[in-house]
């Protein structure tokens, strides 16, 4: 999917989630772009999970408890991910998660650079899984800028 197509298709769910939970929709959309490879991941395409959210925790208004295990395709041990009925549910659940579990990041979301630093150095990013916090921070800021340029045009 082209970046412009991804933005056009998912900007409204990001805006709705951002409005409900007080988070800049640009950072929501940027994190979704990172987590899905601009909408190309199996989780996004087949399970409407646009943020790689694992299936831990209790069901809520946006996630009904349905989950999938992608390990059979990768040869890794079981790791369960949330499955959503609609893409919009994934965006809402992500914004809910950031709002409740990472309130400082949420409060900084009007400033993508500050948000990116806060979220990259929080428990949201797992270096145990090979994630590089500094690279994630840089990528998030860069994608926010790309999204802003495309929206303005």
pLDDT at 140: 96
CB-based contacts of 10, cutoff 8 Å, min separation 6:
29, 32, 39, 50, 87, 91
pLDDT beyond 90 at 153: no
Does residue 7 have a pLDDT over 80? yes
| CA dist., res. 149 & res. 135, Å (int) | 21
Give the residue, 153 or 9, on which the prediction is more confident: 9
| pLDDT-derived band at 72, boundaries 50, 70, 90 | low
**Confidence bin at 81 (pLDDT 50/70/90):** very high
DSSP strands (E only) in 9-136: 67-69, 80-82
Confidence label for 129 from pLDDT (cuts 50, 70 and 90): low
Q: In angstroms, rounded to a whole number, what is the distance separating the alpha carbons of residues 31 and 152?
A: 19
Residues in a beta bridge with 67:
82
| Torsion 90-57-82-60 (CA) sign | negative
> Sign of the CA dihedral 110, 114, 120, 122?
negative
Q: Name the pTM for this structure.
A: 0.92
CB-based contact 17:87 (threshold 8 Å): no
């Amino acid at each position: 999917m082209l970046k412009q197509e991804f933005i056009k298709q998912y900007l409204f769910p990001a805006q709705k989630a951002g409005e409900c939970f007080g988070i800049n929709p640009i950072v929501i959309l940027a994190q979704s772009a990172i987590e899905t490879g601009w909408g190309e991941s199996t989780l996004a395409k087949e399970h409407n999970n646009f943020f790689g959210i694992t299936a831990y925790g209790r069901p809520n208004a946006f996630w009904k408890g349905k989950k999938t295990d992608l390990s059979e395709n990768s040869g890794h041990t079981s790791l369960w991910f949330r499955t959503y009925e609609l893409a919009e549910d994934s965006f809402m659940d992500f914004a809910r998660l950031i709002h409740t579990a990472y309130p400082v990041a949420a409060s900084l979301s009007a400033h993508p650079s500050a948000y990116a630093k806060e979220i990259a150095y929080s428990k949201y990013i797992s270096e145990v899984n090979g994630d590089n916090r500094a690279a994630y921070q840089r990528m998030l800021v860069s994608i926010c800028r790309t999204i802003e340029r495309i929206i303005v045009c």
